[in-house]
Amino acid sequence: MVEPDRGQEPAVDAVGVILDAVRLDRASPVPLYYQLAQGLERTVVGGLLPPGTRIDNEILLAERLGVSRPTVRQAMQYLVEQGLVVRRRGIGTKVVQPKVRRPLGLTSLFDDLRSDGQEPATSVLSLGVVGAEASVATALGLEEGAEVVELVRLRSAGNRPIAKMTNYLPVGRVEISREAIEKGGLYELIRSAGIVLHAATQTIGARTATTAEARLLDESRGAALLTMQRTAYDDHGVVVEHGNHVYAASRYSFQAQLLSP
Amino acid sequence: MVEPDRGQEPAVDAVGVILDAVRLDRASPVPLYYQLAQGLERTVVGGLLPPGTRIDNEILLAERLGVSRPTVRQAMQYLVEQGLVVRRRGIGTKVVQPKVRRPLGLTSLFDDLRSDGQEPATSVLSLGVVGAEASVATALGLEEGAEVVELVRLRSAGNRPIAKMTNYLPVGRVEISREAIEKGGLYELIRSAGIVLHAATQTIGARTATTAEARLLDESRGAALLTMQRTAYDDHGVVVEHGNHVYAASRYSFQAQLLSP
DNA sequence: CAGTGGTCTAGACCACACC
DNA sequence: GTGTGGTCTAGACCACTGT
């Protein structure tokens, strides 16, 4: 043990490490602040700047990197939003303990599972045009009974069913085929239709399984199910999709990483 | 000057409305950009700038408001993060359809209920020091069997129980009394101890109620419960609190508003 | 006191979307 | 083209923290 390092920050030459790790290319179309932010992020998650490390002040950093102070600030702001550093006026900037960073964002279960390395399988139980029920019509902003695309899927991983997913979409906005949906997931299809997802509201609840649900999801009668209703909007505020999903609670849970406002 | 009004956006004199609604006080300690952001937010959620309204460009706004363009940008950035407006290069800024905005943030159930206008009640079922079980010890980063404060509460609203909340805290960090906890909630107590909450990880799942839980929560046997485990960290990355909560699913659900990354 | 991040200014040039 | 937001600069002063 060479370093006593008791309660104080580890002796790391932050600015040196950063200058080594970050290469700014002014010819690149990527903004300078973003190059810097990404470089800093790599440096932090790569462990070159351990938790607790004090990062030198903006003015010094700006000088050494050859950019202006607002540019450094913009990059730092990004790191704060990612929860990688904490800044306090009069004190300085410090690398914080990194935590799991699963954002519970605008991704699908498919994406979640795939990034977990589990190869998910999907089977389409039904796909067609139906008249909208009241709740669906409300969510999509249509009249009750209006035509909507209904898509029902069973999602499995490791040969066991995980979720029954029911989605409703306005007719004609997204072209859905069974093949495409089994291959890439609904959200991939939506994005490839040129729709930019912007926001979603979702509600997570629980209830007990009906007999049919229990059989479908390979659970016992009366088992607890997680339910999730999600309505997704594009960047014009128009509803893109409404989903009503049930998950086998014994094999699935939602995780979220929260940051202070 | 007559508005072209190309059929889409409602004919609203955005800059006029904004100038009427936003009063900037340069003597105030509140930053200008924040005064502006709040003013814009009020204007949007108050309906004075209906969804679809085109907001005038930054330069004009800056001129009329008597501030610099970066200040306007900073305020706009805030509105984008709140999901209230969409901006596109070459196009402009547009108010989007406002959605429910319950952030599922670092708040407590107590805060959630209170901001809903329901006056919540809390009764402390037990409060004391216990030896940490394995899962609790892991979450708090302690040895198994180490002393931790255990707090068990029953939360009700409208005379019906909603949740049983079990929290574990390291000994000595926060002074907890039954009176304080029944009055203001745990997170209020933590904040008033000078601890700055920074991040949390939480897992939401479901299971069926045990007999005792069903009785406590006024549910039938085998009813579905929502479960939530949360571990909260301060801005030094140190664990502040670990909680293990169960909610009567028939009377509670989690809502979240998501924005695209 | 000195040092830090927070805010603000008054410009500039660029990339992009629409006409 | 024209107009928009996106980026960037080189300063300035202030508020806060710790000495």
Q: Which residues on A lie below 8 Å from B105 (Cβ)?
A: 258, 260-261
Q: Which residues on A lie below 8 Å from B196 (Cβ)?
A: 260
Structure tokens at B59: 């330069």
**Mean pLDDT, residues A192-212:** 86
> Does A61 contact strand D, using a CB cutoff of 7 Å?
no
Phi, psi torsion values for A174, nearest 5 degrees: -125, 130
Q: Which residue of A has its CA nearest to B224?
A: A207
Whether the per-residue pLDDT at B101 is higher than 80: the answer is no
Q: Distance from B47 to chain A by nearest Cα, in Å?
A: 15
Whether the per-residue pLDDT at A74 is higher than 50: the answer is yes
Phi, psi torsion values for A125, nearest 5 degrees: -80, -35
Ranking A33-42, A193-202, B143-152 by mean pLDDT, the lowest is: A193-202
Torsion region of A61: left, alpha or beta (phi above 0 gives left; psi -120 to 50 gives alpha): alpha
Nearest residue to B77 (alpha-carbon basis) of B36, B46, B105, B47: B36
Q: How confident is the model at residue A4 (pLDDT cuts 50, 70, 90)?
A: very low
Mean pLDDT, chain B, rounded, equals: 84
Q: How many CB pairs under 8 A join A and B?
A: 159
Whether the per-residue pLDDT at A37 is higher than 50: the answer is yes
Contacts for B231 with CB less than 8 Å, ≥ 6 apart: B139, B200, B201, B202, B239, B241, B242, B243
Q: Count how many Cα atoms sit within 13 Å of the Cα of residue A257 in the half-sphere of its side chain.
A: 11
Ranked by mean pLDDT, the top range of A1-5, A28-32, A83-87, A210-214 is: A210-214
Helix (H, G, I), strand (E, B) or coil at B221: coil
Q: State residue B1's pLDDT score.
A: 40
Ranking A31-40, A187-196, B95-104 by mean pLDDT, the lowest is: B95-104
Ranking A82-86, A107-111, A241-245, B21-25 by mean pLDDT, the lowest is: A107-111
Distance, in Å, from the CA atom of A179 to the CA atom of A256, rounded to the nearest integer, reads: 31
Q: State residue B165's pLDDT score.
A: 94
Burial of A180 (0-12, 13-18, 19+ CB in 10 A): middle
CA distances from B145 to A90, B40, B121, B129, B240 (A): 40, 53, 32, 11, 18
Sort strands A147-157 and A120-131 into parallel, antiparallel or unpaired.
antiparallel
Phi, psi torsion values for B147, nearest 5 degrees: -75, 130
Distance, in Å, from the CA atom of A153 to the CA atom of A148, rounded to the nearest integer, reads: 16
Which nucleotide across the nucleic acid strands is nearest to A76, CA versus C1'?
C5
User: Residue holding tokens 């010890």?
Assistant: B137
Q: How confident is the model at residue B223 (pLDDT cuts 50, 70, 90)?
A: very high
Instruction: Tell me the per-residue pLDDT of B109-127, one tens digit each, with 9 for 90 and over.
Output: 555 655 566 667 889 999 9
Nearest residue to A143 (alpha-carbon basis) of A156, A125, A131: A131
Residue closest to D10 C1′ by Cα: A68
Q: Are A249 and A223 in contact (CB under 8 A)?
A: yes
Maximum alpha-carbon separation in chain A: 74
Phi, psi torsion values for B190, nearest 5 degrees: -65, -45
Q: How confident is the model at residue B11 (pLDDT cuts 50, 70, 90)?
A: low
Q: Which residues on A lie below 8 Å from B206 (Cβ)?
A: 206, 224-226, 249, 253
Instruction: Tell me the per-residue pLDDT of B77-97, one tens digit each, with 9 for 90 and over.
Output: 999 888 888 888 888 998 886
> Does B28 contact strand D, using a CB cutoff of 7 Å?
no
Whether the per-residue pLDDT at A9 is higher than 50: the answer is no
Q: State residue B2's pLDDT score.
A: 39
pTM over 0.85: no
**Mean pLDDT, residues A64-82:** 90
Are A106 and B225 a contacting pair at CB < 8 A? no
Residue closest to D6 C1′ by Cα: B89
Q: Distance from A154 to chain B by nearest Cα, in Å?
A: 19
Compute chain A's Rg from CA coordinates: 24
Residues within 7 Å (Cβ) of strand C = A 29, 55-60, 69-70, 73, 76, 87-93; B 6, 31-34, 66-71, 74, 88-91
Whether the per-residue pLDDT at A53 is higher than 70: the answer is yes
**Mean pLDDT, residues A65-77:** 92
Q: Are B103 and B257 in contact (CB under 8 A)?
A: yes
Amino acid, single-letter form, for residue B87? R
Q: How confident is the model at residue B222 (pLDDT cuts 50, 70, 90)?
A: very high
Instruction: Tell me the per-residue pLDDT of B37-71, one tens digit each, with 9 for 90 and over.
Output: 999 999 988 888 888 888 989 998 998 898 999 99
Which nucleotide across the nucleic acid strands is nearest to A92, CA versus C1'?
C4
Ranked by mean pLDDT, the top range of A65-74, A228-237, B177-186, B249-258 is: A65-74
Amino acid, single-letter form, for residue B176? I
Distance, in Å, from the CA atom of A197 to the CA atom of A174, rounded to the nearest integer, reads: 13
Residue closest to D2 C1′ by Cα: B90
